[in-house]
């Protein structure tokens, strides 16, 4: 009996070590590739290798909102400051129980119109349509019955007038040049069906009239650790996967899509919690199944500042939701897994998301527990276990610090010395505690899963002026 | 043994990450210093250019041309010259810049030959430099177009765009046509909007360019680009575009319909009506264009199109009808018509125009 237990623990230990080493290798490779690409892109811009045009193409910005009365006006104001010639803003209120509609109607002096909406995608019925007058771009507000985020996005797509739409969260803010940057891949390459941008934590930003006027590390540890986490995940996964058209996620907070293709693929799934990922995977599957040449791109210079949860409770809610969304998306498109028909997407991206995103929390919790049990039973010596944990954590921390400062540099952000020191400390803390906390949250995400279908992931919002 | 292998690997990774971090820090610090040095050199170059421009015949000597050539044949030197010239545009008379650029042409031609053998991103920078030429200096640089064409070999999208910009600036029809042919032969994608809008910056005779381009052999996509370019020109080229209305190719037909929205030609009206009645993919554009052809036949066709199976056709037909003089009776009929879609669309368009009548 003891012999069998020892055998199992040994197997789990070595599997876990192998698992971590593969991840460490992947991380190193992706960060190196990402760093190279970002420096190269910087150089290209410096020596006039860029596409500049007075007039690109019209874009509809779709902003789904649910109980966003605190931040929605600031967000829309930031969208009105974009340096872009032709765009429209479509806000879709998904049956909010607060005063989201009222604050918008009053602030932008909107009036009700009887605008028919062509329902090319299934969504709940609209209650009222409002239109703002006298603004530099058309602003439409659609108040509809509650149906979830995917449903609200479908409504926004239905009401949009232009061939490309940008989806953005209601608590997010764009820099003045964000729209111009995110359309660049479409100008450079034929067949681009979707483009993702870089999402960063808005709490670290001071913005005025669409321009950054300051950047700092917040004192709130939950917020600052997420800043590190966002930078690492965007640089680590997106740029490398972009090289082989393997990106499976475009954040719902900031993504540009070709409307016709999204409609042809069926629009956002109204039943999935991770509707953003599900749509991207479906676009891959749809294009490959129908032999349509396509690419899904990532544009690291297009930046969106999105509010991140400030309390552990809100963060827990958000991550459980994301993890369930990931599970639903991967399960729904399981035929992609290791299927050569889907090329690198099936052989690498899907595998990565399955092993290092979906199953990672389980592996981490079980793996570290098995190592601890092995140390207690004498199978593994304590010295090795502690040394390994410290070294592995240090490795991740150093890599995170590298990524963070590289993004600070390439985005031309200025930080004080105090904030730099804070960033280093936060990097270490994030790798020691925060990742473990998130692993536990995600490992238990499925408890009570059925009850939360179609719900919006509400987190407490703060007014951006207060930062 | 196995434990020490794992430790070794982790140590190695930590070492590589630390090296990466170290490299990043050094890179950031050095690039900060480098950009300050560049800024200083740009200001020095601006002063030098301005002092030379003040007395070009005396100051642009053989020696100056040789030193300019040496300067711009490497990437940093060229970037400094480009930045300095761009900034001097706002501070110097254009005639002075023109005289300077003409006097320096030999140095630029020599440098252009050197850049033929360089990387695409460096060729792109040189092409960008040429696109900055003042208009009056262009005749002296006309044959630069031939050299720029060679920059297209093994190029990137940025290099191709900068070469096109340079060719527009040079106003060199032959070179531009050959460049576009090269694009087509190699199947290079270049955004149609960039092409059609870019041609508007052509410094030669745009009408002549349009006609010459039209006479070449192009695929449908390029022909649609040309029609979009012609749409923005003042000269009427209906004779070239009219046959495309019946050509059957979606993009071409779409571009042609748009053309006749900007260039009213009664000969196009029957074809536009036919497209609208057929209610195919291009009917949506026809419904919009016909708003510029007000007469009874068009009005009746648009009323009919309010019942189209296509939502966009109904919307555009309603908008086009709004442009026409509808009697109160006609407005009343449309507002109370049997077809719900037609009614809703018409009322919405009426309302959004701030009109009443329903």
Tell me which residues of chain A, numbers 400 to 429, contact chain B at a CB-CB cutoff of 8 Å. Answer: 401-402, 405-406, 409
Going by C-alpha positions, the residue among A200, A402, A403 that lies closest to residue A301 is: A200
CB–CB of A265/A314 below 8 Å? no
pLDDT for A467 equals 35
Given a cut of 50, whether residue A466 has pLDDT beyond it is no
Are B20 and A402 in contact (CB < 8 Å)?
yes
- The pLDDT of A259-272, averaged and rounded, is 94
A-chain CB neighbours of B122 within 8 Å are 47
Compute the nearest-CA separation of A119 from chain B (Å). Answer: 10
Instruction: Write the DSSP assignment of B152-220 as a string of letters.
Output: TTT--HHHHHHHHHHHHHHT-HHHHHHHHHHHHHHT----HHHHHHHHTT-SS-HHHHHHHHHTS---H
Selecting from A39, A57, A399 the residue whose C-beta is nearest the C-beta of B193 gives: A57
- The pLDDT of A430-457, averaged and rounded, is 78
More confident residue, B31 or B126: B126
- The pLDDT of A380-399, averaged and rounded, is 85
Is the ipTM here above 0.90? no
CB–CB of B172/B145 below 8 Å? yes
pLDDT for B11 equals 79
Give domain status of residue A432, yes or no. no
Query: How open is the CA angle A256-A261-A267, to the nearest 5 degrees?
Result: 80
Q: What's the CA gap between A114 and A124, in Å, rounded?
A: 17
Give domain status of residue A326, yes or no. yes
Mutate to test the interface with B, among A49, A375, A385 (most CBs of B within 10 A): A49
B-chain CB neighbours of A409 within 8 Å are 24, 27-28, 31
Domains in chain A: how many in total? 1
Look-up of token digits 């370019």: B229
A-chain CB neighbours of B347 within 8 Å are 114
- The CATH class of the B265-358 domain is mainly alpha
Tell me which residues of chain A, numbers 95 to 124, contact chain B at a CB-CB cutoff of 8 Å. Answer: 113-116, 118
Tell me which residues of chain A, numbers 349 to 368, contact chain B at a CB-CB cutoff of 8 Å. Answer: none
Contacts of A326 (CB under 8 A, 6+ apart): A274, A277, A353, A357, A358
pLDDT for A78 equals 86
pLDDT for A462 equals 61
Q: What's the CA gap between B169 and B166, in Å, rounded?
A: 5
- The pLDDT of A3-16, averaged and rounded, is 87
Pair of tokens at residue B138: 């262009």
Selecting from B13, B24, B311 the residue whose C-beta is nearest the C-beta of A402 gives: B24
Give domain status of residue A389, yes or no. no
Give domain status of residue A313, yes or no. yes
Residue B215, number of CB atoms within 10 A of its CB: 10
User: pLDDT digits over A143-183, tens only?
Assistant: 999 999 999 999 999 999 999 999 999 888 888 899 999 99
CB–CB of A373/A9 below 8 Å? yes
Compute the nearest-CA separation of A388 from chain B (Å). Answer: 7
Q: What is the CATH number of the domain that holds A304?
A: 3.90.550
Give domain status of residue A209, yes or no. yes
User: pLDDT digits over A32-66, tens only?
Assistant: 888 888 889 889 999 999 998 877 889 999 999 99
pLDDT for A181 equals 94
Q: What's the CA gap between A91 and A105, in Å, rounded?
A: 11
Given a cut of 70, whether residue B36 has pLDDT beyond it is yes
B-chain CB neighbours of A50 within 8 Å are 158
- The pLDDT of B30-45, averaged and rounded, is 91
pLDDT for A451 equals 54
CA distances (Å), A276 to each of A21, A267, A455, B300, in order? 30, 10, 15, 45
User: pLDDT digits over B233-244, tens only?
Assistant: 999 999 999 999
Does residue A31 belong to the interface with chain B, where contact is any CB pair within 8 Å? yes
Query: How open is the CA angle B30-B35-B41, to the nearest 5 degrees?
Result: 125
Give domain status of residue A285, yes or no. yes
**Domain ranges across chain B:** 41-117, 119-213, 265-358
User: pLDDT digits over A220-254, tens only?
Assistant: 999 999 999 998 888 777 888 999 999 999 998 89
More confident residue, B349 or A72: A72
Q: What's the CA gap between B135 and B138, in Å, rounded?
A: 5
Output the average pLDDT for chain A.
Answer: 89
Domain that holds residue A323: 29-50+171-351+456-466
Q: What's the CA gap between A321 and A281, in Å, rounded?
A: 18
pLDDT for B3 equals 67
Quickly state the pLDDT bin for B274 (edges 50, 70, 90).
very high
B-chain CB neighbours of A21 within 8 Å are 6, 9-10
A-chain CB neighbours of B75 within 8 Å are 47
Are A401 and B21 in contact (CB < 8 Å)?
yes
- The pLDDT of A179-194, averaged and rounded, is 93
Are A405 and B191 in contact (CB < 8 Å)?
no
pLDDT for B356 equals 66
Q: What's the CA gap between A191 and B285, in Å, rounded?
A: 23
Give domain status of residue A154, yes or no. no
- The pLDDT of A371-386, averaged and rounded, is 85
A-chain CB neighbours of B126 within 8 Å are none
């Amino acid at each position: 009996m003891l012999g069998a237990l020892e055998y199992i623990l040994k197997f789990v230990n070595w599997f876990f070590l192998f698992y971590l080493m593969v991840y460490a290798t992947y991380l190193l490779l992706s960060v190196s590739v990402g760093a190279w690409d970002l420096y190269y892109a910087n150089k290209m811009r410096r020596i006039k290798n860029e596409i500049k045009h007075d007039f690109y193409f019209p874009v509809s910005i779709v902003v789904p909102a649910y109980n966003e009365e605190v931040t929605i006006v600031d967000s829309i104001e930031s969208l009105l400051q974009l340096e872009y010639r032709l765009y429209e803003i479509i806000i879709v209120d998904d049956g909010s129980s607060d005063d989201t509609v009222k604050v918008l109607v009053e602030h932008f002096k909107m009036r009700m119109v009887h605008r028919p909406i062509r329902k090319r995608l299934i969504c709940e019925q609209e209650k009222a349509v409002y239109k703002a007058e006298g603004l530099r771009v058309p602003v439409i507000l659609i108040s509809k019955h509650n149906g979830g985020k995917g449903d609200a996005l479908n409504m926004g797509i239905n009401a949009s007038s232009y061939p490309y739409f940008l989806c953005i969260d209601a608590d997010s803010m764009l820099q003045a040049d964000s729209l111009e940057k995110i359309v660049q891949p479409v100008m450079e390459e034929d067949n681009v069906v979707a483009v993702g941008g870089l999402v960063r934590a808005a709490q670290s930003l001071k913005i005025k009239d669409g321009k950054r006027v300051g950047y700092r590390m917040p004192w709130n540890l939950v917020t600052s650790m997420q800043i590190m986490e966002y930078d690492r995940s965007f640089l680590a996964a997106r740029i490398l996967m972009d090289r082989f058209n393997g990106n499976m996620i475009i954040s719902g907070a900031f993504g540009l899509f070709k409307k016709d293709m999204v409609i042809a693929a069926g629009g956002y799934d109204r039943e999935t919690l991770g509707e953003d990922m599900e749509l991207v995977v479906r676009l891959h599957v749809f294009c490959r199944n129908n032999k349509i040449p396509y690419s899904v791109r990532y544009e690291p210079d297009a930046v969106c500042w999105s509010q991140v949860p400030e309390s552990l409770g809100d963060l827990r809610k958000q991550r459980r939701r994301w993890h369930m969304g990931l599970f639903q998306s991967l399960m729904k498109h399981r035929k992609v897994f290791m299927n050569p028909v889907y090329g690198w997407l099936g052989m690498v991206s899907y595998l990565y998301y399955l092993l290092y995103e979906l199953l990672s929390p389980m592996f981490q919790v079980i793996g570290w527990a098995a190592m601890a049990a092995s140390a207690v039973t004498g199978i593994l010596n304590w010295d090795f276990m502690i040394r390994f944990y410290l070294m592995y954590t240090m490795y991740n921390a150093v890599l995170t610090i590298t990524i963070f400062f590289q993004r600070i540099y390439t985005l031309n952000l200025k930080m004080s010395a105090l904030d730099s020191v804070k960033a280093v400390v936060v990097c270490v803390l994030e790798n020691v505690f925060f990742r473990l906390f998130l692993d536990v949250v995600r490992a238990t995400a499925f408890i009570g899963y059925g009850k939360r279908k179609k719900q919006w992931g509400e987190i407490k919002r703060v007014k951006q002026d207060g930062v | 043994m196995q434990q020490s292998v794992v430790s070794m690997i982790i140590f190695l990774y930590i070492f590589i990450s630390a090296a990466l971090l170290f490299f990043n820090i050094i890179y950031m610090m050095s690039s900060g210093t480098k950009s300050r040095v560049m800024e200083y050199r740009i200001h020095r170059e601006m002063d030098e250019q301005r002092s030379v421009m003040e007395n070009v015949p005396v100051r642009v000597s053989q020696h100056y041309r040789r030193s300019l050539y040496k300067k711009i044949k490497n990437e940093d030197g060229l970037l400094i010259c480009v930045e300095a010239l761009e900034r001097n545009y706002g501070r110097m008379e254009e005639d002075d810049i023109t005289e300077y650029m003409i006097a320096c042409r030999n140095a630029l031609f020599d440098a252009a030959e050197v850049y033929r053998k360089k990387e695409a991103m460096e060729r792109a920078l040189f092409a960008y430099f040429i696109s900055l030429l003042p208009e009056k200096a262009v005749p002296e640089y006309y044959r630069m177009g031939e050299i720029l064409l060679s920059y297209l070999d093994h190029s990137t999208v940025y290099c191709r765009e900068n070469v096109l910009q340079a060719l527009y600036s040079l106003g060199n029809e032959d070179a531009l046509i050959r460049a576009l042919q090269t694009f087509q032969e190699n199947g290079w994608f270049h955004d149609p909007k960039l092409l059609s809008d870019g041609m508007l910056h052509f410094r030669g005779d745009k009408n002549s360019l349009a006609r010459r381009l039209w006479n070449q052999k192009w695929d449908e996509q390029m022909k649609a680009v040309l029609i979009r370019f012609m749409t923005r020109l003042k000269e009427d080229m209906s004779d070239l575009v009219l046959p495309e209305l019946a050509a059957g190719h979606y993009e071409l037909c779409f571009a042609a319909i748009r053309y006749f929205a900007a260039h009213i030609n009664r000969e196009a009206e029957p074809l536009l009506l036919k497209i609208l009645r057929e209610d195919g993919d291009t009917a949506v554009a026809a419904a919009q264009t016909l708003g510029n052809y007000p007469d009874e036949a068009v009005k009746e066709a648009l009323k009919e199109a309010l019942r189209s199976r296509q939502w966009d056709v109904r919307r555009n037909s309603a908008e086009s009808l709004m442009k026409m003089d509808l009697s109160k009776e006609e407005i009343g009929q449309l507002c109370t018509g049997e077809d719900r879609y037609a009614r809703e669309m018409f009322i919405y368009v009426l309302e959004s125009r701030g009109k009443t009548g329903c």
